[in-house]
Amino acid sequence: MSEITNTGLLQAVQANAEPQPTAGKSIAELVGPTPFPGTVHPTAGGGILVSKMDEVINWARSNSLWPLTFGTSCCAIEMMSAYSAKYDWSRFGFEVARASPRQADVIIIAGTIVNKMAPVLKRLYDQMADPKYVVAMGACATSGGPFFYNTYSVVKGADHVIPVDVYIAGCPPRPEALIHALMALQVKIKAGLTREQIRTSMQAATES
């Protein structure tokens, strides 16, 4: 997993973050054991840590994400595996899944979104406190799915209902892919990037 890179996200980080320490690094290297943000200035008695409040908040926020699970079909099984003992996503700061949107930071959409379910998804998203993040897991959540894409009752991607921060390809994706996506989200949060900044940077990289 440490060899997997998300080129678009890394380019967005490099384009918007000051300074730019992320060039050529993988998602795992960027997230890896992260020290407290700031610079230590040695003094006679030890040292003084100088940092920015935004960096401290983003550092803490990225390492304490509480997911709201929204499993509607097959991908939910892989999502359950990700927080089981074998994969244990709480090692990376995602802690336990929450059943209430008011206690969650990120909603993981794992499965098909039908037209009748879309208002429920929107209501849950609206009940989450800001800042909030969205992960679309699997083909159904990202594009409507390989089997239901042209079905009248299926929404062709969760981003038709709520904004999405990270997309995961696969049918279904493996638990490692979900953990990698959450680590990519951590990079975004630590860099303090908005969805618009990432989208603009990725479009510029594609055009160039």
CATH number, residue 182: 3.40.50.12280
Section 160-179 average pLDDT: 88
The pLDDT mean for the chain works out to 76
What is residue 2's predicted lDDT score, i.e. its pLDDT?
33
Q: Which residues are CB-neighbours of 147 under 8 A, at least 6 positions away?
A: none
For residue 145, tell me if it sits in a domain. yes
Lowest-confidence region among 7-11, 99-103, 111-115, 135-139 = 7-11
What is the domain extent for residue 191?
65-195
Total domain count, the chain: 1
Q: To the nearest 10°, the Cα dihedral for 65, 199, 78, 124?
A: 60
Pairing of strands 133-137, 46-50: unpaired
Task: Report the distance separating Cα 56 and Cα 112, nearest Å.
Answer: 37
Cβ atoms of residues 173 and 78 within 8 Å: yes
| Tokens coding 194 | 């908005």
Please report whether residue 120 resides in a domain.
yes
Give me the pLDDT at residue 206, please.
64
In a domain, 108, yes or no: yes
Structural domain includes residue 6: no
- Single pTM value for the model: 0.72
Domain presence at residue 141: yes
At 119, is the pLDDT very low, low, confident or very high (cuts 50, 70, 90)? very high
**Residue 162 belongs to some domain of the structure:** yes
pLDDT greater at residue 197 or residue 77 = 77
What is the C-alpha separation between 53 and 206, in angstroms, rounded? Answer: 33
